[in-house]
Structure formats: structure tokens, C-alpha cells
Amino acid sequence: MTGWRDDPTLRALVDRVIPADEYPSGWQAGVGDFMDRILATDLRGRVPFVRAGLALLEAESRARYAGTRYADAPFAALPAAVQDGMITDLLAGNRRVDWGDTGPAEFFELMIRLAAQGFYGDPDNGGNIGGVSWSMIGYRVLPPGAEWPDPPPPQEAPVIGWAEVRGGYDAIVAGAGAGGGVAACVLAEAGHRVLLVERGHWLSPADLRPDHLRNQRTMAGDYDTPAGPPAQGNPRVFAGAGGDVVVWPADPRWSNNAMTVGGGTRVFGAQAWRFCPEDFRMASVYGVPPGSSLADWPISYEDLAPCYDRAEWELGVCGDPAGNRHAGPRTRGYPMPPLPANGTAASLHRGARALGLSTSPIPLLINSVPYQGRGACLQCGACVGFGCPGDFKNGTHNTVIPRAVATGRCDVLTGVQVERVVTDGDGRVTGVALVGEAAGRPVRREVTAARVLLGAGAVETARLLLNSPSGREPGGLGNDHDQVGRNLQAHVYAGALAMLDEPAQDCLGPGPSISTNDFRHYNEGILGGGMLANDFVMPPLQAWSVLASQRAFPTWGLANKQAMRTHYRRLVSVAGPVQEVPNPDARVTVDRRTTDRFGIPVARLSGRVHPEDRRTAEFLTARAVDWLDASGATRVLPFVGVPDGPSGGQHQAGTCRMGSDPARSVTDAWGRVWGHDNLYVVDASLHVTNGGVNPVLTVLALAYRVATAAAGEPS
């Protein structure tokens, strides 16, 4: 502990940010304990800044009130109204003393953010004693009457160590995420000896408990997450409007998905949409707008449909396609019925009926009933971004990867990075170079295999190919036509937040339970479109930060606390992913001047989204506003999430697109890198376009297709 608990200035400041009313103040709710803990651990680097800010606050107080009745009174002794006035004035930039490098606005923003984290975050982080803020606003983790199942007995992860890595594998799969997990299973079950290499770790449910500061959902920006790489040693370069900047994993510009066994599926929201037939023929349906690389896929919906079906049944999806106007043809339904709808869906149903919108439940990779030996979802309010404590969410870590291991033919090596794909003198792929750490030092080793499959995610797979030049391909494997890394795309999000006139948020997870697919295609003057749905249950801290970023209410003080109380249970968001128009300048390259902790050049993300994406986003936002207006919303806050730079993050895709022409793509229609008969891509990099829905089911389906071909099996 650092003694912050006894700091009167800090205490007074926290209690102005979250004052007492009929509910405890921030300090009474344990924010002091939180500060003590966080400034001694994750944020110890901010201690000098915080100390300087508090000292300046005292100096400012003395300078302002010299000669008045408050002369020489410390900040903590000033009346609350005077303290509030002083904070307001300083936030507006009016200062009496020289704050030097410590900008008052920056200081207060940090202190306000930390106070909110301590007050609205989870009690395990040291504040929010007894969940006081959660009961104040009406958030709960478990539905009434539900209880967590007994935790499963701790199990040793079925992984091997460096010493057990053999050579001469039939296949090496780089990355144990969505695509890599499926690929390892298909190959191992087809009789191949497989090495599955993952740079992250095999995490247990306890490692991924609902920690509201360190997770892939609230991404407070200040903290490492267990399912992401630590900041230390893991930079990337982001080339935005202001030029190149080095960024770290907690920064959205780093474009983090999740790095652990299961990849994104370990902590995802589990929406399991199929792309629709038009999504595979975007250029034919809409033409190719200037500046874009919009193209048709070399395969059709019908080609992929059997693999979608396999993904839905082998991993387990609940849902019902009725009401989805753009659901493609299917040979059977989902293996499980949809989960019961969340409380916000009832108002949205009424609004949709009034507008004549067709709606459907959201397909989810979640057990709505017991399936494949695991139980049914309890509908807790802490789903997306966290691991499921009951293992009811279906990712590759609890379905296909254990199946691969059960064959006895799949070795899983974790905490080790594939550094490069290795080729022989003729440029033929012979295996991979691995790098890990032992006793704090890098350890390197090459491992041979008959074939290599890359499933490292759209940013890292491109980086791997570019970092693997050979005499025959000096610009990187598969990069003779300078295509590797281009067409980086993901999903610009569009929609609106709104306050309903009645409390409707019952915190029944995961949250998305009503969608309309009416705007996915054939919207007048728009290329493509997207699906709209209600949002995942917002952890209180996320609701606080969303409302703060919208400037919907003051970000601190009684007005903020009361707004959280009044609005949390009325807050609803309708949003959806925009089908982006890819362009070749949005790309991943490698920055040879910036290296990671092993000295490997890192990914550089550059370019912009296509102007069509803003138009589509504005169109979808307007539809979300219509829907919310018709649903009885009293206040609607539209948003259009177009980034300053390329689109990436959790839905990153497109950097090694499949195609029919080697000059315009990186792989053939079977995911085989052009010019190589034993090098494949099995992740979201393959996507030619990324659909107007969440992408993971397509990643899984493509991995089934590619791995089945790589295994030499009929598809």
C-alpha cells in the first residue's frame, strides 16, 4: 500500500467527483482502497503525475483564496461548493499557478476516470464495497435465483513444453484462435501429426473472471488484459493522420483481438452470423467504387454453406433464422433454440412492428440448453470480453482444440511465438522458426513440417508472411505482387444510444437478443449495409465511460452520479457492423525500425477506411435512430464510429484475401498461398469482404474448408 488512503486532498477530490447523497460517496465506497492498490501496481508509473497534480491543487487553492476567509485552508477544508467551483474553473483552463507539464485538464480527467473505476468497477479491485454502486444503478451479474455452478476441479492445461517439441510434423498451425483451432482439429482427426503453436497461454476460467478493468470489453486503456499480450515488449506502429506513433496493446489503435488459446473466441460475445449470398458477390452486385479493391470472393455462399453448418453443429450455435431476410439457404436449423430475450428487446419489438421491420434473435455460440457435455447458459450480465465461468460459451478452446488433443496427435505449445516461416534453398516451405522465453532469455528453434497453416489473425498472419522473405520471394512469402497485408478491414460501427422512458435493462446476458437484417443489402444509394441489434449488457464502468464520451451528462459530481442512477436501466444501444468497402491502401506492413521483445519487426497499420464506409455508417445510424424513436426512447444519441486510420481491432480481416488471380490476391480459393503447395492461411485474413455482420462464423467455416483441403480429405 502506498498511503493514498490517508491523503486528505485525494479524499476530498474523490468525494467531489462522486459525492455522498443517499448513497455513499466515492471514498466511502472504497475508492481510497482502490487508489492505494492501483497506484502501487498497474499504474505505479502515474504516481509522480498524481502527486504533482495533488500538490498543484493545493497550491492553486492557496493562490486563489489568499486574503479571503479561506486563506491557508487546504483544499480539503474548503466548502464543497467552493471545491466544485474550483474544479470547474480549472477544467475550463483557468489557473492561477503554473501547472508546468501537469495540465489541469489531464490531471482531472485521470482522477475522474480512476474514481469512476474504483466506484463502478468490480469489488475485487478494491472499491465498490459490497457492490454498492451496482445496487445503486440496478446492475447485477447473475439473474435472480441463479447460482454459479461449482468450479470444475483445476486441470492441468494439455500443453507440451519446449523439450517435448518434435520435428517432422505433418502440419504446424500458427495461432490457436478461431481458425487455427478448427484447422488443428480437422488435421489431427484426419490422422495428421500436428503442432499447434500459440503465443498466448491456455487460460482457466479463473484467469478470465469478470474483472471490469482488465478485459477485452471495457478496455479502460490503462491496463494489460489476461487475454491480450502485455504492453511490455509488444509495440505496433499506427500511421494515423498525425504520422507514425508507437502504440501498445491497450490502445485501440493497436487493434487487439485476444491472444490466448481460443484467440478471440475465448472472450468473444459469440454472435454467430453467416454472411449472406450477396456478401460473396459485392463487386458484381454493386460495382467497384473508385479507390476501392471491392471484389467478389472466388467462392459462393453455396460453396461455404456446408462448412457453416459444420461450424454451427460442431461448436454449437443457438438461434432461429426466421425473420432474417438475408439468411442464406440452409439445410437444417441450429442445434439449439435461441436464448430468452433480454429486457430491452420488448420495447424494440414494439418499435420494429411500428416501422414494419422484420426481426430475428441473434445466433450465438452459446449453449441455450446443455450441449456436448457442457451446461446451459445462466444469462449472466458479464459475458462479452470475459471468459465464461460456467464454460457455456463455445469457442475453439473448449470444443475443437480439446478434440484435436484427444486424438493423441496434436501437440499444443503455448507461450511461444512463430517468428517466421522457414523455406529451403528452392523457396519451398519446410517448417517454422519459433521463439519463446526461458529463464528470462529468448530461446529459438526451428521445427520442420510437411505443411504450415497460418492462423495468427489478420494483422499477425500478414506480419509473419512479410517477416519470412526467401531468396525466391525477397518481399515476403506470397508477396510477389505486393498483396500481403493490403485490404485491411474490419467493421466501422454505427448506431445510437438511447434512454427508454421506462427501466428495461434487466442485465440478462449476453444482451443482444433482437436484430434486424433488413438493411444488409439493397439500400438506396448505399453499397451493402449492415445488421442492427441491441447491445451486450454494459458493465457499469462501460456505461459510465460511454456516457462520459458522449458528453451526455457532466462527467463528475452529483449530476453524474444521479444520471447513472436514473439512466443505467433505461439505457439501450442499437448498433451494428458496417460492411466495409476494402481499399488497398489500408494495410499491414512491417516497421523494420520498431521491434518486439524478441527483436522481430512489428506490424505497422496504415491507410484509411473508404469514404463509402462513412456514408453507410451514417445511413445505418439513421435507421437505428428511427428504430429507437419508434420504440419509445426519450433521448437518442447517434454515433458513427469511423476511425482516424484503418479499421482493425476485434473484427480485423482481409490482409491475405483469397482470389482467382495471383496478382490481386494472396491465396487461391482453398486458402493456399499462391506459389506454395504446402502453405495455407486459415484465419480472417482470407476474407475478401467482411460482411455486414460479425465475422467469426465465417472464419470458422473457412478454416473447415481450408484445413479439409490441406488434410487431403474430400471437403
Residues that bind ligand FAD (CB under 6 A): 174-180, 197-200, 216-217, 257-260, 263-265, 267-271, 384-385, 417-418, 455-458, 460, 464, 650-651, 683-684, 694-696, 699
Tell me whether residue 271 or residue 398 sits nearer to ligand FAD (CB atom).
Answer: 271
Closest distance of CB 11 from ligand FAD, Å: 35
Distance CA 566, CA 582 (A): 42
What's the distance, CA 21 to chain centroid? 36
Closest distance of CB 17 from ligand FAD, Å: 28
Closest distance of CB 616 from ligand FAD, Å: 19
Closest distance of CB 73 from ligand FAD, Å: 48
Tell me whether residue 326 or residue 570 sits nearer to ligand FAD (CB atom).
Answer: 326
Residue whose C-beta lies closest to ligand FAD: 177
Q: Are 623 and 359 in contact (CB under 8 A)?
A: no
- With cell 506480419, the residue in question is 463
Tell me whether residue 460 or residue 506 sits nearer to ligand FAD (CB atom).
Answer: 460
Question: How does DSSP assign 350-410, residue by residue?
Answer: HHHHHHT---BPPPBSB-SS-BTTB------S--TTS--TT--B--GGGTHHHHHHHTT-E
The DSSP output letter for 210 is -
Instruction: Give first-to-last CA distance, the chain, whole Å.
Output: 60
Tell me whether residue 127 or residue 179 sits nearer to ligand FAD (CB atom).
Answer: 179
- With cell 494439455, the residue in question is 158
Per-residue b/e over 210-219, b at no fewer than 16 CB within 10 Å? bbbbbbbbbb
Closest distance of CB 31 from ligand FAD, Å: 27
Tell me whether residue 403 or residue 567 sits nearer to ligand FAD (CB atom).
Answer: 403
Biggest distance spanned by C-alpha atoms of the chain? 88
Tell me whether residue 173 or residue 295 sits nearer to ligand FAD (CB atom).
Answer: 173
Tell me whether residue 112 or residue 307 sits nearer to ligand FAD (CB atom).
Answer: 307
The DSSP output letter for 276 is P
Tell me whether residue 555 or residue 573 sits nearer to ligand FAD (CB atom).
Answer: 573
Alpha helices for 242-324 (secondary structure H): 282-286, 301-311
Tell me whether residue 32 or residue 478 sits nearer to ligand FAD (CB atom).
Answer: 478
Tell me whether residue 26 or residue 264 sits nearer to ligand FAD (CB atom).
Answer: 264
Closest distance of CB 421 from ligand FAD, Å: 10
236: Cβ contacts below 8 Å, ≥ 6 apart: 246, 247, 253, 254, 255, 459, 594, 602, 603, 604, 605
Tell me whether residue 102 or residue 342 sits nearer to ligand FAD (CB atom).
Answer: 342
- Tell the burial category of 36 from Cβ atoms under 10 Å away from its Cβ (0-12, 13-18, 19+): buried
Distance CA 299, CA 282 (A): 12
Tell me whether residue 304 or residue 500 sits nearer to ligand FAD (CB atom).
Answer: 304
Tell me whether residue 197 or residue 564 sits nearer to ligand FAD (CB atom).
Answer: 197
Distance CA 305, CA 315 (A): 15
Distance CA 213, CA 224 (A): 9
Closest distance of CB 268 from ligand FAD, Å: 3
Tell me whether residue 126 or residue 249 sits nearer to ligand FAD (CB atom).
Answer: 249
79: Cβ contacts below 8 Å, ≥ 6 apart: none
Q: Are 455 and 703 in contact (CB under 8 A)?
A: yes
Angle (nearest 5°) at CA 465 between 464 and 468? 85
Closest distance of CB 448 from ligand FAD, Å: 17
Q: Are 101 and 2 in contact (CB under 8 A)?
A: no
Strands 633-641 and 429-438: unpaired
Closest distance of CB 634 from ligand FAD, Å: 29
Closest distance of CB 667 from ligand FAD, Å: 14
Distance CA 68, CA 51 (A): 26
Tell me whether residue 15 or residue 198 sits nearer to ligand FAD (CB atom).
Answer: 198
Closest distance of CB 423 from ligand FAD, Å: 17
Closest distance of CB 417 from ligand FAD, Å: 4
Closest distance of CB 1 from ligand FAD, Å: 32
Sign for the pseudo-dihedral over CA of 344, 345, 349, 355 = positive
Angle (nearest 5°) at CA 87 between 82 and 90? 125
Closest distance of CB 229 from ligand FAD, Å: 7
Tell me whether residue 193 or residue 217 sits nearer to ligand FAD (CB atom).
Answer: 217
- With cell 456516457, the residue in question is 547
Per-residue b/e over 468-489, b at no fewer than 16 CB within 10 Å? bebeebeebbbbbbebbbbbbb
Closest distance of CB 178 from ligand FAD, Å: 3
Distance CA 462, CA 479 (A): 10
Closest distance of CB 368 from ligand FAD, Å: 15
Q: Which three cell numbers stand for residue 529?
A: 449495409
Report which residue type is found at 104: P
- Tell the burial category of 342 from Cβ atoms under 10 Å away from its Cβ (0-12, 13-18, 19+): buried
